[in-house]
Structure 1
């Protein structure tokens, strides 16, 4: 049990509510493989990622069809949901699905998020690997449903696959994925931090909301560059079902970038923000005594 002591406005001090940091997850726990809760969580990750890819890729395909000048000859440029609508689809679905699955699996729905939480010892290696496999399989199945339901438009409009824009270099695309994933994973750590929850208990914050908004904002910034990956399962699912050479050309960016961004976010939160807060609290407590 820890007690956070911080400086209050005006130079005074106040003590936040007590909070408990969960113990680090074991690197490998064979007993975990015998628990139904693990497999229930893996199923939840599979279904959530399937639904995420189905809704979002269907939105992308629908927008491209509606804004196709050969189909809508009058006002194609103003038709469809636009980039803003696509960003809302991704951010909104993450908000909904994290809210629905947080109590079962933690609501990762993204291998980069799982990787960052694994590095911070929030999940075990066994759970992390099973989550990532489930997320990738769910993404493939979700995009497969889109292709099955919209077969007339799927290939024509690029299958919702992430591709590096010809106007940008590979370095720029990689940087966009690193920074975008950093924003997302940093938000995940901040929104689920038990210290923050205790300190700000008088201000109820629904954790899925800032996470969904982070996804929304990152999409607004990076759709023109890479189509916005920040989720290796999302990129893999679209690439596997579309299976076009262009979709695989720079696919490594959508794995390397998110994993680097997640690692930086985990290190920043655990060893800079949390470490400095602990030191500040300790020194304040010491000076008071």
Structure 2
């Protein structure tokens, strides 16, 4: 779609004062999908030269290292990287990439950062990074930086903790989360439909703790953490205690009551799968 109100394109490498009507341009799959009458200038990130995915060294901010995924990393680049990345959580990368159900054209243009900054409940990069305890690195116009957990960065449907002119630079995933066994569940109202509920479980092999992240069914991601795998009743109570009636998403892709029901069901499936796998492998 043509953006007829946009008058300028600016290279992000050439720093310029942020002004009203500016927007960061990554892949552009959302920006060019519908009218943006409030925009006057696009700040192009495509030539920043950021490595799509990189390994992090051991440091106080990320003990044991981890991964840094650039905001400009495309879905195709992340998928290709995951095919050569050998950690227990590796399958989750491809599962979340496939949750887009998008054409190869979108895969080669849509970015991880764009998916997060759209803040849509069904954003699978939100699901991936929130489930693996990801943290957003945000760059301010004044040169300041701050880190925000992905689960807190998304504050509602299409809403995020992003200040005026602030840029999402990357998302970091800690090594401990990458060492977790994961389980993935997704459901839609119809074949090839948008996710109505997408849940991920991550079982820590070190201390036996379990995190279950609820996305798509809710207006924002909810990461439920248990020091030990819960019983079925404990899991259900935790969902009811943490996710309020207003938190269940409501649109044409699923009513709140259906989304809540599927969250109960998928969370229980994840709990059983990870419990069975841990017993089989002798960790419990």
Q: One fold, TM greater than 0.5?
A: no
Structure label with greater radius of gyration? 1
* Higher RCO (C-alpha 8 Å, min separation 6): 1
Question: Which structure's residues are more often helix, by fraction?
Answer: 1
**TM-score normalised by L of structure 2:** 0.23
Question: Which structure's residues are more often strand, by fraction?
Answer: 2
